[in-house]
Copies of this chain bind each other. A is one copy, B any other.
Amino acid sequence: MTLAYTPTPNGASSKIAQVMERMGAAMRFAKDEEIFFQDDDAELIYLLQSGAARTTRLLADGRRQVGGFYYAGDLVGFETGEVHRFSAEALTDCTVLVLKRRALKEFAGDDELERAIWEATRAELERAQDHLLVLGRKTACERVASFLRGVAERAPAERHALPMGRQDMADYLGLTIETVSRMLTQLQSSAVVSFESARQFRITSPQALERLAA
């Protein structure tokens, strides 16, 4: 049972997924449970099978930066050096395949696998670079619009669910929850998106959203 292609940012190539499925151990994490910690030795790699997760980084005084959100099919924590630079936490209950890095390395001679690892690292780098532009040069409204567009891009559905709360969005976008909330209501009142509940929306005007995401 190979995973189908996933359009998600860090979708595991089928090759990595194959190895994980053959050799990985299944684990479950409850909502808000830590999957791994910042500064821990990075001995394991994780493949999300269901649910969603976030990576976070803390400053000494408690300020938090969310590095990214991960969904079923995504690899988490593999693109690191000896030590994790982020923590990872379950956003919802989720099931994960876990494999020792060491085990993956045993396939090191396998060109296809090597390439898949590099490509996945590169994809993660592109995510980070896109994120840089958002944090460095976009306004609050543009950030929130970019975020919603990003969520929507993951799947061509009519309605989109937000597995994360406002605080997670805020820490991802470099804003406060209040500002995120205000921008969301503003986008709604200008008929760009429409929220059916706090965690579920549909896009009313894709062009307007695209334009605002800049």
Which residues of A are in contact with B by a Cβ distance under 8 Å? Answer: 2, 57, 59-61, 63-65, 67, 79-82, 85-86, 108-109, 111, 114, 117-118, 121-122, 124-126, 128-129, 131-133, 135-138, 171, 173-174, 214
Closest residue on chain B to residue A55 by CB atoms? B129
Contact A79 B125 (CB under 8 A): yes
B126 touches A174 (CB 8 A): no
Chain B residues contacting A214 (CB-CB under 8 Å) are 59-61
Copies in the complex: 2
Check A57–B133 contact: CB distance below 8 A.
yes
Report the minimum CB–CB distance from A19 to chain B (whole Å).
Answer: 16
When chains A and B are docked, how far (Å) is the Cα of A80 from the Cα of B65? 25
- 23 residue pairs of the A-B complex, CB under 8 angstroms, read A57-B133, A59-B137, A59-B214, A60-B214, A61-B214, A63-B137, A65-B133, A65-B137, A67-B132, A81-B122, A85-B126, A85-B129, A108-B111, A114-B118, A121-B122, A124-B125, A128-B132, A131-B132, A132-B132, A136-B171, A136-B174, A137-B171, A137-B174
Is B67 touching A126 in the complex (CB atoms < 8 A)? no
Chain B residues, Cβ within 8 Å of A133: 57, 59, 65
Looking at the assembled complex, report how far the CB atom of A107 sits from the nearest CB atom of chain B, in whole angstroms.
Answer: 12
> Taking CB as reference atom, which chain B residue is nearest A109?
B111
Q: Specify which chain B residues have a CB less than 8 angstroms from the CB of A174 in the assembled complex.
A: 135-137
Shortest CB distance A138–B (Å): 8
Distance between A28 CB and nearest chain B CB, rounded to angstroms: 28
CB pair A129–B82 under 8 Å, yes or no, is no
Q: Which residues of B contact A132 (CB under 8 A)?
A: 65, 67, 128, 131-132, 135
Report how far A43 CA is from B200 CA in the complex, Å: 43
Quick check: B86 and A129 within 8 Å, CB to CB? yes
* Chain B residues with CB under 8 A of A2: 82
